[in-house]
Amino acid sequence: MLTNEQKTQFNEIFEELGNNLDISETQHNNAVKSYQAVGSWLSKEDSLLAKYNPQILTQGSFLLGTVIKPVNENDDLDIDLVCELTGKNENWTQKDLKKIVGDRLKQNDTYKEMLDEEGRRCWTLEYRKESENEKEKYHMDILPSIISDGYSVLLTKAFSENRFEDVEKLAIRITDKESLNYSYDSDTENWLKSNPFGYGRWFFNRATISTKKLFSLNESIKPAPKYQAEKLPLQRAVQILKRHRDIMFQGDVDKPISIIITTLSARSYNGEGNIVDAIKNIISNMHLHIAEKYDPSSNKKIKYIANPVNEEENFADKWVEHPKREANFYKWLEQVRKDFDSILSKTQGLQFINESMQKPFGENLITKTFSSYGTNKLKQREQGRLKVAAVTGTIGSSGKTIKNHNFYGAKEKE
């Protein structure tokens, strides 16, 4: 059992770990400018899409505030986007809409060079940009979608009020090359339904612990959201668990997918006000939110992780076709429990905590984390805010104040 002082210290370390997993404000702002530029190009007067008011919003981890830097600094940051169109030409099929969006991107010499091969649902733009501070690498997956009149009002209302109602009304219709009606059905009611913003609203409903934190909720759905450094405990927990996954399964395509980690984390989270308690509770209870359902196609029971805003969608549907993915999830869950038990048992000093975190999270990241943690403690000491617990000797925000010392050389004394 950790003392209050020890828990505070671990929380501060994990918070610093999260800070170092965050993308920089420069990366954030560059990404926002880039996708706003794409939206402007799609909506210019000479575009076939202009009359449908194209608007690009973030989805996935960028929306949820759980995006993390890749393990390899040379790897791309993946940014998921939704291109919303208010209505469409009544004759357009999914195939038509997808092609029109792609053709419009190809009419721009810059975007034409960036375009990757057409994906199942998205068009991907691969960016390689230079900033003043660091090399920026990211790619954007742009999902064409149809929304109805008044959708933006519903979305704003859902994210501006501290309630979770009528989330199904936030669903959008999307293009999907694997849909049987992809090339001939122009009725959007028959198109595949997706609800990334409903999921976001559900996630924030699970994550929010006080009205003071609602800025994250309001800001997240703006076309140009501001950079947010402060995170909720659930957001930090998801970031840390995703990093553990990335280190454990580097290069393995069968690693646990982020939507499963995020969904099970949010379902397991119980309003804990700190990162330590949040992670402990999440990894202890994740397995309880994996159901089993009979699958007529395989004539057996399968694992089922329901989309919280569409119970018919199973996030673990690929586990049947790729059993290694199911095995890897449980392997990861067992390992992350062992690693956190080991980390939280290191109460003898910072050196032991540092060493216990290097393998699960990466040596470079942990070195950077403890360096910035030490810098913060030095500042607190200089300001007279650093204390030491009388019994455990843990340095933190409670206990006896540590006096700041100024050291002067012999010449200075003279």
The tens digit of pLDDT for each residue in 137-168 reads 889 999 999 999 999 888 888 887 766 667 88
Supply the DSSP symbol for 211. Answer: G
Per-residue confidence (pLDDT) for residue 381, from 0 to 100: 65
Nearest to 347 by CA among 403, 379, 391, 283: 391
- Rounded to whole angstroms, how far apart are CA atoms 2 and 169? 45
pLDDT-based confidence at residue 208 (cuts at 50, 70, 90): confident
DSSP E strands in 148-222: the ranges are 172-174, 192-194
Tell me the angle at which helices 4-21 and 350-361 cross, rounded to the nearest 10 degrees.
40
Residue 311's Cβ-count burial label (10 Å; 0-12, 13-18, 19+) is exposed
The tens digit of pLDDT for each residue in 323-335 reads 999 999 999 999 9
In the predicted model, is pLDDT for residue 251 greater than 90?
A: no
Nearest to 53 by CA among 83, 78, 25, 33: 83
- Rounded to whole angstroms, how far apart are CA atoms 144 and 141? 10
Which residue pairs, CB below 8 angstroms and at least 24 apart, start in 346-351?
347/2, 347/6, 347/392, 347/394
- Rounded to whole angstroms, how far apart are CA atoms 105 and 83? 12
Q: In this structure, which CATH number among 3.40.50, 1.10.3210, 1.10.10, 3.30.460 belongs to the domain 23-227?
A: 3.30.460
Q: How far is CA 74 from CA 134, 167, 280, 324, in A?
A: 11, 38, 32, 27
Q: How do the domains of the chain map onto residue ranges?
A: 23-227, 350-413
Per-residue confidence (pLDDT) for residue 412, from 0 to 100: 33
Nearest to 208 by CA among 260, 153, 280, 160: 160
pLDDT-based confidence at residue 383 (cuts at 50, 70, 90): low
Q: Phi and psi of 67, rounded to 5°?
A: -65, 145
